[in-house]
Amino acid sequence: MAQTMEHPWDTLNKLSIPIWFFDIEKENIYVSESLRKELGIASIVLNRQELNGLLHKEDILYINHREMIKGKEERPFYISYRLLKHGHYKWRKDIVTPFYDGDRRLIGYTGVDAPDIAHKEELDRIKKSVIELGEAFLSYNGQGFFDFLVEYLATVLEVDSVLVGELTGAEKDEVTAISMYHKGEITSGVHYQLKGTPCEKVTNIHDCCYSSEVRALFPEDPLLQEYGVESYLGKSLLNPDGDVIGILAIMDSGTQTSGPLGKALFQIFADRTANELSRMQAEKQLQLLSLYDPLTGLLTRSYLSDRIEEEISSAPNQEKNLALLLLDIDNFKLINDSWGHSKGNELLKQFARYLRQTFAPYDTIISRISSDEFVVLIKHIGSMEDIRELSDHVILSMRRPFLIGEKEFYSTVSIGAVFKPLNLPEGLGGEDLLRNVNAAMHKAKRDGKNRYAIYEERMSEQMREELHLKQSLHHALDNREFVLHYQPQVSARTSQVFGYESLIRWNHPDFGVLSPNHFISLAEETGMIIEIGEWVLQEACHQTRKWQVEASQPDLKVAVNLSAQQFVDSMLPEKVFRALEDSGLSPESLIIEITETMVLQDFDRSIETMERLRNRGIKVHLDDFGVGFSSLSYLNRLPIDAIKIDRSFVRQIGEEKHDVAIVNAIISMAKSLGLQVIAEGVEKKEHISYLKRKGCYEYQGYYFSKPVPAHLVTL
């Protein structure tokens, strides 16, 4: 941090002697209060014009500083001039001394009445001290400056001890020595209570002087007793707000008489010390603030890594298991895009409070490491099963909405977990664990979000593959690497295919054909999902229209899945209408599939978007129903045409009574609302028989066909 020297007059003005200072840059002359009174003038600062008004007209040219310094720039010299005083010109003779800054640049002159030799000697000593102090202020900062100051002040004032102390303690009722000089030795860290010491008086009245017998006046002060202090001069150090933040004190075993030199120097040094202490405290505060996220109050990543290292080092000795959880708020970017950053920030603050409450029973460190990512370090945990239970609890409890303003917001999280030391090799540091838990979190996102994954070594290789895939994504559309596969949707009433769901695949040059689980989350991260989604919509509409014409099936329908980022796009309806227009497909032939999570992120806006689509004749289906929030209260308000039972429930028909009960409840709910029901994941004849009995007559799954490319579809 760059330091600047203060104006010389700020120093010289503190002297009690009659003195003036001429600033050659501003061409102003500054006079001390005692000199102002002696000369009978109104102001202590005179410009060149005002100065000329006081000088005799014959002396004005002579007093010009460029003329009077010729040949004498480096040494004091005398000048004689006539000055208007109380209405009459009187001769004065001053001794003038050039004044230089720390770079030996001439900045002005000081002048005192020539006969006062004692004042001249005092001034020289003060000037020397001021210059040396200024150089030290520019050369040192922090501890180095304070160490220089106490030793220098003790030498100049010829005292035994000098103390620079900072007020500490919760009530600021203690003093901690930043630097203390005593008879040739410099120490720091001396700590004592203010009560019963002269320093206590300093903090109350700002200045305190005891020329003798101070030790007898404060018998409980251990420092005075130990050092045999007889005299004490103290001054409080103030920050820019005027608050007392420390103390500067000089102490000696003999009697002190504070003359002009002592008082002036002490004031100058106190001001300098207060400036440096304020700066040091501000830097400490900034350093402390850098450890904490200003939005949530949680630790930042930089500090978290060090804390993880500490816990890893202590874990073997304390025989404790550590766990690291990384929680990522799913689709957080959509919140900022659709609600604005202020609402997004409010969600982050509420989520941070939720984490504190949820993990309060555990010994934890919680950190926000990026925009929507949070890490929880659990210092003591029993087993891997405890991590699973805790992760399940977080995911289930997130089904409760956050209240932001007057709106309810539903969100989900993807969780990565690392267990140490049972499932990790020795020698891993904090950054290694953070990389591993990040790999686990990305595995949870690839698997569909709203779930957790516990780290396994193969996940690190998967992360490297992800990086390769991210780079490839940017060229995949241009290289025509994407292809659509189609899975039929069958009606049990007619035993006919009534439509197809379009499902994207990536024919990657290195990894072969990839399903969406491998790249959709990456496309969302890179921002490519919008372009890819628009391509899917256009391609599905064109292909379906082509089938309608070739097979003479004008009622054939196609279902297109939207991504979360597509759904919050304010131009979505226009893009859908354009795809229909370009392909010639009728709106009644298009089905848009969305998920519960997408709808609940902004419920009112979601309804508006769905109504615009349905008003054109487009059908809207709610996909993966049952794995999200599945609330009848919001389902009743949604302008949708059908719900699709998630495959995870259908596959359990005949095996798990609990999941069968969920299937029954979904079908009953849909019937009560007059909604169509489609069952996904139908793989067995047993599934069809059961669903028929419960009143579900439309299916999709491997029992009929796997998703296949368009050229393999049999119409």
pLDDT(607) > 70? yes
What the block records as the tokens of 631 is: 């609330």
How many residues are listed for the chain in this entry?
Answer: 715
**Percentage above 70 pLDDT, the chain:** 87
Output 279-287 pairs: Cβ under 8 A, ≥24 positions apart.
279/1, 279/141, 280/141, 280/142, 281/166, 281/239, 281/245
Tokens 């009644």 -> residue: 588
Nearest to 650 by CA among 698, 623, 682: 682
pLDDT band, very low/low/confident/very high, at 658 (cuts 50, 70, 90): low
- For 531-575, what is each residue's pLDDT tens digit? 999 999 999 999 999 999 999 999 999 999 999 889 988 899 999
Q: Give the whole-angstrom CA distance, residue 684 versus residue 650.
A: 10
Alpha helix locations (H) across 102-230? 117-139, 143-157, 198-205, 214-217, 222-227
Pairing state between β 106-113 and 88-100: antiparallel
Phi (first) and psi of residue 364, to 5 degrees: -130, 165
- For 487-526, what is each residue's pLDDT tens digit? 999 999 998 999 999 999 999 998 899 999 888 888 888 8
Question: Please, what's the largest Cα pairwise distance for the chain?
Answer: 124
pLDDT(81) > 60? yes
- For 345-359, what is each residue's pLDDT tens digit? 999 999 999 999 999
Tokens 């550590």 -> residue: 322
What DSSP assignment string belongs to 514-549? E-GGGTHHHHHHHTTHHHHHHHHHHHHHHHHHHHHH
The pLDDT, as a whole number, for residue 540 is 97
Q: Which three-class secondary structure string do you get for 31-99?
A: ECHHHHHHHCCCCCEECHHHHHHHECCCCHHHHCHHHHCCCCCCCCEEEEEEEEECCEEEEEEEEEEEE
Q: Give the whole-angstrom CA distance, residue 688 versus residue 699.
A: 8
Mean pLDDT to the nearest integer, 181-202: 89
The pLDDT, as a whole number, for residue 400 is 85
The pLDDT, as a whole number, for residue 632 is 63
Q: Which three-class secondary structure string do you get for 258-313?
A: CCHHHHHHHHHHHHHHHHHHHHHHHHHHHHHHHCECCCCCCECHHHHHHHHHHHHH
Contact of 635 with 669, CB cutoff 8 Å: yes
Q: Give the whole-angstrom CA distance, residue 589 versus residue 545.
A: 9
What the block records as the tokens of 530 is: 């919008």
Mean pLDDT to the nearest integer, 257-270: 63
Cα dist from 237 to 62, 241, 266, whole Å: 45, 11, 12
**Domains along the chain?**
8-117 (3.30.450.20), 140-289 (3.30.450.40), 301-456 (3.30.70.270), 493-499+529-705 (3.20.20.450)
Query: Any residues with CB less than 8 A from the CB of 428 and at least 6 apart, and which?
Result: 312, 420, 436
What the block records as the tokens of 400 is: 């409760």
Higher pLDDT, 538 or 340: 538
Query: Any residues with CB less than 8 A from the CB of 86 and at least 6 apart, and which?
Result: 40
Q: Give the whole-angstrom CA distance, residue 416 versus residue 619.
A: 37
Burial class (CB in 10 A: 0-12, 13-18, 19+), 313: exposed
CA 587 to chain centroid: 47
Phi (first) and psi of residue 338, to 5 degrees: -95, -35
Contact of 647 with 681, CB cutoff 8 Å: yes
Q: What is the pTM of this model?
A: 0.52
Mean pLDDT to the nearest integer, 569-587: 95
Helical axes 117-139 vs 143-157, angle rounded to 10°: 160
Contact of 323 with 420, CB cutoff 8 Å: yes
Q: Give the whole-angstrom CA distance, residue 8 versus residue 102.
A: 11
- For 114-130, what is each residue's pLDDT tens digit? 655 544 555 566 666 66
pLDDT(290) > 50? yes
Report the number of secondary-structure helices (H) and strands (E) in the chain: 27, 30
Helical axes 341-358 vs 332-339, angle rounded to 10°: 140
Contact of 500 with 540, CB cutoff 8 Å: no
The pLDDT, as a whole number, for residue 1 is 38
What the block records as the tokens of 150 is: 């106490």
- For 409-435, what is each residue's pLDDT tens digit? 888 899 999 987 544 455 567 788 888
Q: Give the whole-angstrom CA distance, residue 8 versus residue 131.
A: 10
Q: Give the whole-angstrom CA distance, residue 189 versus residue 140.
A: 20
Q: Give the whole-angstrom CA distance, residue 80 versus residue 83.
A: 10
Question: First vs last Cα of the chain: how many Å apart?
Answer: 76
Q: Give the whole-angstrom CA distance, residue 123 versus residue 127.
A: 6
pLDDT(706) > 70? yes
The mean of the pLDDT values for the chain is 84
Q: Give the whole-angstrom CA distance, residue 105 versus residue 131.
A: 12
- For 478-490, what is each residue's pLDDT tens digit? 999 999 999 999 9
The pLDDT, as a whole number, for residue 532 is 95
Pairing state between β 452-454 and 496-508: unpaired
**Before 421, cis peptide (omega within 30)?**
yes
pLDDT(333) > 70? yes
The pLDDT, as a whole number, for residue 260 is 45
Mean pLDDT to the nearest integer, 261-275: 73
Higher pLDDT, 333 or 159: 159
